[in-house]
Amino acid sequence: MMDQLDSMDLNELKALKKQVEKAIDSFETRRKKTALEALEATAKEQGFSLSELLDAASSTTKARGQAAAPKFANPHNPDETWSGRGRKPRWFIEAIEAGKTTDDLAI
């Protein structure tokens, strides 16, 4: 096979590449169709349609939660808050180093 490829010019190799890509796409399409048919058959055996199962799966997926409520506020700028989760903001660290307690910064 490699001997045949070595004897081809650039245009022949590009044409072969297109044929191979088309064959791969066709193969993948057939495999997807077969897999879909198998899934539909399994769903039917269980008494469901595949769309029912997919709808149920999408409705039960966990929704992204809301941001945590702020627990601490910057005494110099109340618009800057921190929930107590994640990295401590600079203003929080500086306030603690200046002698404030977490209770002093609590909302």
- Whole-structure pTM value: 0.47
How far apart are the C-alpha atoms of 61 and 44, rounded to whole Å? 23
Q: Which tokens sit at 46?
A: 């269980």
Kindly give the confidence (pLDDT) of every residue in the chain, 107 residues in length, as a single tens digit, with 9 standing for 90 and above.
788 999 999 999 999 999 999 999 999 999 999 999 999 999 999 999 999 988 887 776 566 778 889 999 998 998 999 999 999 999 999 999 999 999 999 99
**Cα distance from N-terminal residue to C-terminal residue, the chain:** 74
How far does CA 10 lie from the centroid of its chain? 40
The dihedral of CA 87, 89, 94, 96: what is its sign?
negative
